[in-house]
Amino acid sequence: MKLRCDFCYRHCQLEEGQTGLCGVRTHKEGKLITSGYGALVSLAVDPVEKKPLYHFLPGSRTMSIAMFGCNLTCQFCQNYLISQSDFAGVIAGQPVDIQEIIDGAKDRHCPSISFTYSEPLVWQDYMLEVAKRAKQEGLATIMVTNGTFSEEALARIVPWIDAYNIDLKGDESFYHRLCGGSDEPVLEAIRYIGRTKAHLEVTTMVMESMHTLSMIETLAHALHERGVQVWHLSRFFPNYHCTEAETSESFLRQALEAARTGSIPYIYAGNSGMDQSTYCPSCHELLVTDRIRSSIHVLPTLKQGRCSSCRYPIYGRFGS
């Protein structure tokens, strides 16, 4: 008898002994299991800005963890050794006690735990076990995801995650050509999470040879319509199967202009030398210093979630 996995939008139907496209979820002895449950392929302390999250506890550090696996096959994957099923087992996962992860976060002054680097949707049962424990101990939880949730996964995960960075990679044809996926579940998840109290930022890696400015404008309107407040557009550098030239600063600048047609208030350039400060969208007062600097400061001009000059409400969580 086949079993249906509901961890992501693919809803794989798996025969006994079969594993889904993610290389993780397996039908074993009549049950669906998550292979390598609890074996971490990555454990590191990062600035929260690296996720990227710019409006969630800026200047803080986050304990970042990953298990192996992903449910997309992006040709430009930046982390293919720990995500693409061809590389399963290349990096041996290490079991780490959950309490050790939480104590490690506290010892290293991290107010949050991030599920990141690979795709947490495909190991969401483990993510939820850690997230529930982290929240009991007063830590915030962050999920960095490609956003291809199933409806069931959204209902399970949303109560336990405080902040998301969701990758919106391009339009439907971009997903078909380069990612083996679809933009539909991603846009649906952005709409769903945008209606909750969770913090949400979106990232698009801009490829000069694949993204057009009109595609960026279309994405900008789709994100604005879903209530997105923070959008990161980052420069592409060649990786994995993608040998296209890196995106130039000048094309990224044009992409940022196209992005601004959607009226999203906070748009940032990633992997770039451009200014990454936060300004008040109403009076343009400087509120958070440039993220390219080694120390990031939330300035006294941002008080209790408002610009102190004009009282405009600033999206995000800025307290410790």
Q: Which is nearer to ligand SF4, 10 or 61 (CB)?
A: 10
CA distance 52 to 204: 11
Yes or no: say if 215 and 170 are a contact pair by the CB < 8 Å rule: yes
Q: Which is nearer to ligand SF4, 123 or 236 (CB)?
A: 123
Which 3 state secondary structure label does DSSP give 82?
Answer: helix
Secondary structure of 21-51 in the HEC alphabet?
CCCCEEEECCEEEECCCCEECEEEEEEHHHC
Q: Which is nearer to ligand SF4, 71 or 203 (CB)?
A: 71
* Interacting positions 12-31 with ligand SF4 (CB under 6 A): 12, 20-22, 24-25
- Say how many residues make up the chain: 320
CA distance 312 to 145: 30
Instruction: Annotate each residue in 130-149 with x if it binds ligand SF4 (CB under 6 A) or - if it does not, as one string.
Output: --------------------
Please choose, out of 8-16, 45-53, 189-197, 268-276, the segment that lies near ligand SF4 by the rule CB under 6 A: 8-16
Return the number of other C-beta atoms located less than 10 Å from residue 56's C-beta.
28
CA distance 109 to 161: 19
Residue type at position 67: M
Binding of ligand SF4 at residue 288 (CB under 6 A)? no
80-106 burial: b if 16+ Cβ within 10 Å, else e: bebbbbebbeeeebeeeebeebbebbe
CB of 11 to ligand SF4, least distance (A): 5
Rg of the chain taking only CA atoms, in angstroms: 19
| Backbone conformation region of residue 180, classed left if phi is above 0, alpha if psi is from -120 to 50, else beta | left
Instruction: Annotate each residue in 90-129 with x if it binds ligand SF4 (CB under 6 A) or - if it does not, as one string.
Output: --------------------------------x-------
Torsion of CA 175, 76, 128, 38, to 10 degrees: 140
**Among 62, 71, 112, 204, which residue interacts with ligand SF4 (rule: CB under 6 A)?**
71
Count of residues touching ligand SF4 (by CB under 6 A): 13
CB of 20 to ligand SF4, least distance (A): 2
Binding of ligand SF4 at residue 5 (CB under 6 A)? yes
Binding of ligand SF4 at residue 70 (CB under 6 A)? no
Please choose, out of 2-10, 91-99, 211-219, 233-241, the segment that lies near ligand SF4 by the rule CB under 6 A: 2-10
Binding of ligand SF4 at residue 11 (CB under 6 A)? yes
CB of 285 to ligand SF4, least distance (A): 45
Among all residues, whose Cβ is closest to ligand SF4?
Answer: 20
Q: Which is nearer to ligand SF4, 85 or 277 (CB)?
A: 85
Contact residues for ligand SF4 (CB under 6 A)?
A: 5, 7-8, 10-12, 20-22, 24-25, 71, 122
